[in-house]
Amino acid sequence: MKTSTLAKSAFLSISRNKTRSFLTMLGVVIGVLSVILLTSIGNGLTVFVEQQFKELGSNLLIVTPGEIVNSDGGFDQQGAALSFATSKLTIDDSNDLTRAGYPITMAVPLTGSNGEARTSQGKRSGMVVGTTPGYSEVRNTKAAKGRFISESDLAGNRKVVVIGSKIADKLFVGQNPVGQLMTINKLRFEVIGVAESKSAGSFGGPDIDSFMYVPITTAKIVFGIDKVMEIMVQSATKEQLPRTKTLIQTTLGKHLDSKDFAVTDQSEILKTIQTILGVLTTGLAGIAAISLVVGGIGIMNIMLVAVSERTKEIGLRKALGATPNNILIQFLIESAVISTVGGLIGIILGVLGALALTPFFPATPAVSSIILAFVVSLGTGIVFGVYPAKKAAALSPIEALRYE
Amino acid sequence: MSTPKSKSSAKVVLSLSHITKVYELGDQTLEILKDISLEICAGELVAIVGPSGSGKSTLMHIMGLLDQQTGGTVKLESHDASSLTEVEAARLRNKYIGFIFQQFNLLSRTSALENVLLPTIYNEGAVGKEAYAKKILTDLGLGDRLGNYPNQLSGGQQQRVAIARALINDPAVIFADEPTGNLDSKSGHEVVEILKKLNAEGRTIVIVTHDLELAKMAHRTIKIFDGQVVSDTTK
């Protein structure tokens, strides 16, 4: 007896009572829906964090003063004040690192202070960042308009500034800021460029789009800032990161005590965050999977009820020539189809839910989760359908036909 | 009109030899059938009659391979059906036996045509029976009701669908268990006429009933009482 004919029989049985079939699969729908949604959130967070790290430069080691390590390697506005006050790093240290050779390709120092920007259109607070031309490459930050700081700006201590997109939006409405004048802490600066917008600031990170980049030499002379907050060191390749770290430590160790500076490997931080998110995602999925088990139990219960209600039908089928195996396979297919269809609906709803959530919260469905959810829902139907199917197959035709 | 066939010239379709059926109920032993032997030949129209509790239903179940006898042998067509596995019995039932029940036993929310085709899904290699099913239903006057569900058919029409279902695999013998029991007299008469006509076309039919009026339509009447054959008369 062909499985396809039995499958057709199973489908007919399911469509005979669509309401019950739907209610039966509801448990699986909800279970799969929650698994997909929760793993999408976990996956979305991971992707988001990875994207953040990528946007802010790769193969980077961050040298910070003292033992204060920033969680994402960027400016921490609250820690800045304390680090600043006690920092023993100088621009000379940065130059030493640049000259240290392979595998260091570049070292970029950063100084910073709060500043107030003003134009005829209004005023806005932001971080004034003193840095060198290398910042643009090391931090993957290009000028969306105009240009970034150049070597001659640096040499000439010019009062030029590259403003963040938020400063541009607020203080230069309807104009191209490039070439315009603005004041920072009451001193006149010329805008030479607008930095491209970065998403890193959008989710708990520092407000990068409100930064104002000036040459580090200008920052020292004009604002009196000369304590270096951070030196970003670029490694030639990912594999050379450990060697680069050692080189930094030996180079700085010539002038500084080891407790005066800390070297942080961004990729290690990323790995830690990825691991944490991975565990979180798995944990969430595990919890959601429990509802899947409940859904499976629901299927088993309804199938048992169905077997009881269809006792006469089973007796009839047996009288007409169905073997116990025919009955077993028919009912197994029925429960497998119900749970698989439920799984598909759950997957579709889960993916739609993740897409609806995306504007507010990172949620990216992973293909592996979808395939796993599909396989598990199919398996659930089979596993939880076995017991009722066996009961059905074992019915004696005469007693079944007599059943009222 | 049909000529009674003499047993010696006709082919034996079903034969029972010294059949007993015993049920164990706790420490009680119930003898439902006590040594029954009989033969059904091709083309016969047989009525098995007896009061409730006489064992006629059990006898029909054993003849129809739905139940296993305790002692004795059963032969169906050329097959020894005395000790069959459940699978073997199912296969033989599907191939050689057609059933008509008192309560019709049609699948609900399923069309008349699909109901008639139900036995074919358990028939290995059954293909293209749809045209035959349509023909049988049309011959029974249901040609315009092929798509109707049982709840859209009268009792008489439902029983006719059941008869068509019993015919679909061209069985060697058809068993009808109280076929008119759930019908009004008019529908009941219609069903009786159909069974007579099928027999005239050569079908072997065994009717089990406690209704002596119904039994009168048969050529041969076997009376069962207390698990034994008390008379076996042919008109």
Token pair in block for residue A182? 């603005």
| Inter-chain CB proximity B109 and A16 less than 8 Å | yes
Return the pLDDT at B223. 93
Nearest CA in chain B to A3: B121
* A328/B contact by beta carbon, under 8 A: no
CB B89 within 8 A of CB B81: yes
Residue B166's closest chain A neighbor by CA?
A: A320
- What pLDDT sits at residue B140? 93
Query: Average pLDDT for residues A157-181, to the nearest whole number?
Result: 88
Rounded mean pLDDT of A237-245? 85
Q: Which residues of A touch B66 (CB under 8 A)?
A: 319, 397-398
Of B91, B101, B121, the CB nearest to A9: B121
**Residue of chain B whose alpha carbon sits nearest to that of A316:** B105
Confidence (pLDDT) at A85: 64
Question: Would you say residue A241 lies in a domain?
Answer: no
- Decide if pLDDT at A82 tops 60: no
Residue-level pLDDT at A81: 54
Structure confidence at residue A345 (pLDDT): 93
Interface probe with B: pick from A1, A320, A395, most Cβ of B within 10 Å: A320
Domain-embedded: residue A267: no
Same domain, A224 and A359: no
Same domain, A94 and A170: yes
- Measure the CA–CA gap between B145 and B151, rounded to whole angstroms: 12
Q: Please report whether residue A245 resides in a domain.
A: no
How many Cβ atoms sit within 10 Å of the Cβ of residue A241?
19
- If pLDDT is split at 50, 70 and 90, which confidence band does A173 have? confident
What whole-number distance in Å separates Cα of residue B66 and Cα of residue B177?
A: 13
Looking at CA atoms only, how far is residue A33 from chain B in angstroms?
32
Same domain, A219 and A333: no
Q: Give the containing element (helix H, strand E) for B177.
A: strand B173-177
Q: Taking CB atoms and an 8 Å cutoff, what residues of chain B touch A317?
A: 118, 122
Q: Tell me the nearest-neighbour CA distance from A397 into chain B, angstroms.
A: 7
**Least confident piece of the model among A101-105, A139-143, A199-203, A244-248:** A199-203
Does residue A193 sit in helix, strand or coil? strand
- Is B11 a member of any domain? no
User: Cα A124 vs. chain centroid, distance in angstroms?
Assistant: 31
Average pLDDT, chain B: 89
Residue A246 confidence (pLDDT) above 60: yes
Summarised one tens digit per residue, pLDDT across range A324-350 is 999 999 899 988 988 899 999 999 999
Average pLDDT of A225-249? 85
Mean pLDDT of chain A: 84
Q: Is the pLDDT of residue A80 over 70?
A: no
**pLDDT on residue B5:** 47
- Which residues of chain A lie closer than 8 angstroms to B169, CB-CB? 321
Residues of A with Cβ-Cβ distance to B95 under 8 angstroms? 321
Report whether A146 contacts A194 (CB < 8 A): yes
A62 — pLDDT class (breaks 50, 70, 90): confident
The count of domains in chain B is 1
- Measured N-to-C along each axis, helices B155-167 and B130-139 cross at an angle, to the nearest 10 degrees, of 140
Q: Which of chain B's residues have a Cβ under 8 Å away from the Cβ of A11?
A: none
Q: Does some domain include residue B193?
A: yes
Number of domains in chain A: 2
pLDDT of residue B171: 93
Q: Judge if A9 and A89 occupy the same domain.
A: no
Q: What is the pLDDT of residue A83?
A: 54
**Is A321 within 8 Å of chain B by CB?**
yes
Boundaries of domain holding B147: 44-68+90-234
Find chain A residues with C-beta within 8 A of B108's C-beta.
16
pLDDT score for A68: 53
- Looking at residue A203, what is its pLDDT? 54
> Taking 70 as the threshold, does the pLDDT of residue A84 lie above it?
no
Give domain status of residue A262, yes or no.
Answer: no
Question: Is residue A72 very low, low, confident or very high in pLDDT (cuts 50, 70, 90)?
Answer: low
Q: Using 50, 70 and 90 to split pLDDT, how confident is the model at A157?
A: confident
Q: Can you give the CATH number for the domain in which B154 is found? A: 3.40.50.300
Q: How far apart are the first and last CA of chain A?
A: 30
Q: What average pLDDT score do residues A204-214 get?
A: 80
Residues A108 and A201 in one domain: yes
Q: A149 and A82, same structural domain?
A: yes
CA A272/CA A276 separation, integer angstroms: 6
pLDDT confidence of residue A71:
55
CA B205 to chain centre: 6
Q: Given a cut of 90, is residue A91 above it in pLDDT? A: no
pLDDT, one tens digit per residue, over B164-204 is: 999 999 999 999 999 999 999 999 999 999 999 999 999 99
Dihedral over Cα of A380, A382, A387, A388: its sign: positive
Distance (Å) from the alpha carbon of A12 to chain B's nearest alpha carbon = 8
Bridge partners (DSSP) of residue A230 are A110
Could you say which DSSP state residue A58 is in? S
User: Within this chain, do residues A97 and A150 fall inside the same structural domain, yes or no?
Assistant: yes
**pLDDT exceeds 60 at position B227:** yes
Q: Does A318 touch chain B (CB under 8 A)?
A: yes
Which of A67-81, A115-129, B37-51 bottoms out in mean pLDDT, i.e. has the lowest? A67-81
Closest alpha carbon within chain B to A398 = B66
Residues A364-401: tens digit of each pLDDT: 888 888 898 888 888 888 988 899 999 999 999 988 88
Round to the nearest angstrom and report the end-to-end CA distance of chain B: 13
> Scanning every residue of chain A, which has its alpha carbon at the shortest distance from the alpha carbon of B165?
A320
- Return the closest-CA partner of residue A222 out of A151, A303, A161, A294: A161
In a domain, A250, yes or no: no
Q: Average pLDDT of B64-75?
A: 92
A3 touches chain B (CB under 8 A): no
Q: What is the mean pLDDT of residues A121-146?
A: 88
**ipTM passes above 0.85:** yes
Q: Is the pLDDT of residue A8 over 90?
A: no
**Does B132 score more than 50 pLDDT?**
yes
Identify from B60, B67, B76, B86 which residue to disrupt to test chain A contact, counting A C-beta atoms within 10 A and taking the largest count: B86
Same-domain check for residues A15 and A114: no
Tell me which of B141 and A198 has the higher pLDDT. B141
Judgement on whether residues A93 and A182 belong to the same structural domain of the protein: yes
B22 inside domain: no
- Our CA-based measurement puts residue B67 at a distance from the nearest CA of chain A, in whole angstroms, of 7
**Does residue B188 lie within any of the structural domains?**
yes
Q: Which of B61, B67, B122 sits opposite A320 (nearest CB)?
A: B122
pLDDT interval class at B210 (50, 70, 90): confident
* Residue in chain A lying closest to B88 (CA): A323
The shortest CB-CB distance from A319 to any of B87, B93, B169 is to B93
**A280 plus A357 within the same structural domain:** yes
Name which residue leads in pLDDT, A315 or A64: A315
Count CB-CB contacts under 10 A for residue B225. Answer: 15
What phi and psi values does residue A312 have, to the nearest 5 degrees? -60, -40
Q: Would you say A380 and A345 are in contact if contact means Cβ atoms under 8 Å apart?
A: no
Helix intervals (H) in A190-265: 216-223, 241-253
Is the pLDDT score of B2 beyond 50?
no
Domain assignment present for A248: no
Domain span holding position A229: 60-236
Predicted confidence at residue A4, as pLDDT, reads: 75
pLDDT band at A77 (very low <50, low <70, confident <90, very high): low
Distance of alpha carbon A149 from the chain centroid: 32
Choose among A17, A321, A398: nearest Cβ to B122: A321
Q: Is the pLDDT of residue A78 over 70?
A: no
What whole-number distance in Å separates Cα of residue A370 and Cα of residue A348? 9
More confident residue, B128 or B152: B152
Domain assignment present for residue B127? The answer is yes
Residue that has been written with the tokens 């039932």 in this structure: B93
- Mean pLDDT, to the nearest integer, of A133-154? 88
Q: How far apart are CA A146 and CA A183, in angstroms?
A: 18
Residues in A touching B94 (Cβ below 8 Å): 320-321
User: Which residues in A lie closer than 8 A to residue B122 (C-beta atoms)?
Assistant: 1, 317, 320-323, 326
Q: Does residue B23 fall inside a structural domain? A: no
Q: Is residue B74 in a domain?
A: no
In a domain, A266, yes or no: no
Mean pLDDT for A236-259 is 85
Tell me, what's the pLDDT at A67?
57
* A317 in B contact zone (CB under 8 Å): yes
Q: Is the pLDDT of residue B106 over 90?
A: yes
- Residue B41's φ and ψ, nearest 5 degrees, are -100, 160
Which chain B residues contact residue A9 at CB under 8 A?
121
Looking at the structure, tell me whether residues A35 and A88 fall in a common domain. no
Give the pLDDT confidence score for residue B1 in this predicted structure.
Answer: 43
Which positions in chain A touch B61 (Cβ < 8 Å)?
398
With respect to residue A249, please indicate whether it lies within any of the assigned structural domains.
no
Residue B1 lies in a domain: no
Compute the distance between CA of residue A62 and CA of residue A262 in angstroms, rounded to an integer.
8
